[in-house]
Amino acid sequence: MPNPPDVYSFKRQLFIIPPPDMTREMTRTVTAETSSVNDIMKAAIKWEKGNGAYTYYAKTRAARTPQASSSKPVPTDNHKPVHYDVER
């Protein structure tokens, strides 16, 4: 009959299985040694929500930014702008 893992081993797995970005962020606030399973899960959910928002805004920003091929060329000359005196 299989035996369940001890609590510490279970908590360690919660840090080993997720992606490295998630684990890196989670370990700023929780650890397997001092945090409850509930605290670890809350940190994981917080990261997922934050990462989802980051991904959404990154996609939105990319969609609004004109592509390099369709944008107007940036002038590279070092001439001073011409100022015209307009009488009012």
DSSP label of 17: S
- Residue ranges per structural domain of the chain: 7-64
Higher pLDDT, 70 or 62: 62
Tell whether the model's pLDDT for residue 87 goes beyond 80: no
Q: What is the pLDDT of residues 36-69, one digit of tens each?
A: 999 999 999 888 888 888 888 888 888 887 765 5
- Burial of 11 per CB tally in 10 Å (0-12, 13-18, 19+): buried
Complete DSSP assignment for 32-87: TTTS-HHHHHHHHHHHHHHHHHHHHHHHHHHHHSPPTTTSPPPP---PPPP-----
Question: Distance (Å, rounded) from C-alpha 70 to C-alpha 12?
Answer: 49
Predicted model pTM: 0.57
Tell whether the model's pLDDT for residue 74 goes beyond 60: no
Tell whether the model's pLDDT for residue 83 goes beyond 60: no
